[in-house]
Amino acid sequence: MIVGIDLGTTYSAIAYMDKEGNPQIIINSEGGRTTPSVVMFEDDGTVVVGEIAKESSIISGANVVEFIKNEMGNPKYRFRCSNGKEYTPEEISAFILKKLKNDAESFLGAEVNKAVITVPAYFNDAQRKATQDAGVLAGFEVLKIINEPTAAAIAYGMENRLDDCHILVYDLGGGTFDATIVYYSRNNIIVKATDGIRRLGGHFFDQEIVNFVVQEFNKKHNIDLYDYKYVDILQELNKKAEDCKIHLNARKETFIPISCHGARDRIRITRDQFNSLIKNLYERTERIVLNTLKDAKLTWDDIDKILLVGGASRTTYIRERLRELSGIEPSAEINPDEAVAMGAAIQAYMMDKASESVDLERNQVIDVCSHGIGIITLDALTNRHVNTVIIERNTQLPARASRKFYTSEEDQEIIKLQVTEGETEEVEYVNIIGTFEIEIPRGLSKGSEVEIEVVVDENQIVHVYTRILSIQDFFKEIHINRKSNLNSKEIVKKKDLISRTAVM
C-alpha cells in the first residue's frame, strides 16, 4: 500500500486513497485522526509515540521529546535520554513515522511500504534530505517530498472543480507557517509563489498564554513558575495553554487553574487579551503573505479564495485579520488538520504505477523552486566572495538558467564550484549544498569565458553543467545529491535498529 504523510511539528497525520479514488484519513490505534508528534523513550527500550507520550511529558519530561521538526537538518542536535542514549532528529522523526506506519497497517490490513511525505515550503535542502532519511529509517520507500501548501492545494483541487482560479493557501500549523499562491487551470495545479517562516505557529500562541499566566501568578503570589523547581507545574501549564487557546475560539473568556507551593488561583484570560498577545505573531505571517502576493505579481483583486490549512489557522483572530487585510472571507472547506495528509495521499496515488489507469481530475502539479540556487564567485571589483543567484526563488519547475563567468588566473587548472541555496549575496547567509573541483585544460588565458548552467528538476534536485566556450567539446555535468547527516552505513544500521524497536 502507498500512503501520504503530513509529518507535523505538533501533530502528524496519514492518509490513503480508497477503492473509489477518494482520500481517507487513517485512524490511529487510539481512535484519533491525528497523532501528536511526541516521542517518549521507556527504560525497557520501548518507544511510545502520540497521546500517551504527550500526557507523560509532565512526569517523564527527561525522556520525552517534542517539536523535533524544528531540528530537522541540524547535524549537531542530539536528544539525550536519562539513561545516556542519544538520538538524532532523523531517528526521532522515524519513530513518529513508524508509529503512523504501524497504525496504517493495522487499519488497512496490508503492508504499507511507500509514502509521499510533506515538508514546509521553506525547508532547505538539508531539512528535506533529513525528512527523506527519516522515512527510510522508518521502513518506507519515500517516493517524493512535497511542500505542505502544495499538498493542501491538491486536496482542495480534487474536492472542487476549479478553472482559471487563484487561491492563497494560508498554512499555519503547530510550529511552522507557509503562504502559497496556487493557480488552478482545467488540468493543472500551478504554484505561482511560496514563502514561509520557521518557528511560528500554534505552539508559539500557547507560549504567549503561558508567559501571561506566569506573570499574572507572580504578581499575585510572588512565585515565579519559571523557576526550575516548578518545572512539572510549568509543563502542565503548557497543556492547559493549548486548551485555553482552543476554548477562546468559542468563548470570550476562560480561566486557567494553577496550584503551586500552597497558592491556588484561577487566572482569567479574555479573547481580547489573547488577541493582543498573538498580534505580533500574526503580523509576521501577514508580511509573508504580502511578499508572496508581490512575488506572484498579483493583487488581492486576483485572489478568488483564501484556504486555511493547519490547526492554528482556526484561531478566530487570524480569520478576522485576514478578512480585514484581503476583503475575502477565509475558507476552511477542507479540514485544516487533514488537508495536507490527504493531498499527499493523492500525490502518492498519482505516482503509483498501479494507478496509472485512474483518471484524476487534476493530472499535473507544477511547483516552484523554494530557494534561489547559485554559486559563490569572486567579485572582481571588491575582491570578495559573493553568492551569485542563477535560478531565482519561486521559479517554476523544472527550472533552467545560465550565467557566464571568467577564469581568474592565467593558465588556470581547476574551477572550484560551490553551489548554494539562498537569496542573498552574503556568503555567510546561504547554504552550500555542494562543493566540486573541475579540472580544465591548461593554456587558457585569464578571463576565459565559462558558462555555468543550473537545472532544478521537479523533485528540486539540482544539476550543474559547466562549459568553456572557447573549447568546443569541454562539457562537465554535476548531479548534486542532497546532503545527508547520516552516511549510508549509518542509515542501514539505524534502520535495522528501529525495525527491531517496539514502537507503540
Q: What is the pLDDT of residues 183-199, one digit of tens each?
A: 999 888 999 999 999 88
DSSP, collapsed to helix, strand or coil, labels residue 399 as: strand
* In a shared domain, residues 270 and 383: no
Q: Does the pLDDT at position 403 exceed 90?
A: yes
* In a shared domain, residues 69 and 216: no
Three cell numbers written together for 55: 500526557
* In a shared domain, residues 21 and 151: yes
* In a shared domain, residues 319 and 378: no
* In a shared domain, residues 140 and 175: no
* In a shared domain, residues 2 and 124: yes
Q: Does the pLDDT at position 355 exceed 60?
A: no
The catalytic residue positions are 6, 69, 148, 171
Who wins on pLDDT, 362 or 62? 62
CATH code: domain of residue 233: 3.30.420.40
Query: How far, in Å, CA of 318 to CA of 19, rounded?
Result: 37
pLDDT of residue 164: 92
Which band of pLDDT confidence, cut at 50, 70 and 90, is reported for residue 212? very high
Which band of pLDDT confidence, cut at 50, 70 and 90, is reported for residue 244? very high
pLDDT of residue 360: 57
Average pLDDT of the chain? 93
Termini Cα distance of the chain? 21
pLDDT of residue 362: 53
* In a shared domain, residues 20 and 128: yes
* Distance from chain centroid for Cα 187: 26
Total of domains in the chain: 3
* In a shared domain, residues 37 and 81: yes
* In a shared domain, residues 144 and 231: no
460: alpha, beta or left? (left if phi > 0; alpha if psi -120 to 50): left
Instruction: For 456-491, write each residue's pLDDT tens digit.
Output: 998 888 999 999 988 888 888 888 877 788 888 999
Which band of pLDDT confidence, cut at 50, 70 and 90, is reported for residue 178? very high
pLDDT of residue 54: 92
Mean pLDDT of 403-427: 92
* In a shared domain, residues 242 and 194: yes
Instruction: For 287-338, write each residue's pLDDT tens digit.
Output: 999 999 999 999 999 999 999 999 999 999 999 999 999 999 999 888 999 9
pLDDT of residue 57: 81
Residue 43's domain spans which residues?
A: 1-160+334-366+481-504
Q: Which of 486, 344, 431, 455 is nearest to 124 (CA)?
A: 431
* In a shared domain, residues 353 and 489: yes
* In a shared domain, residues 446 and 311: no
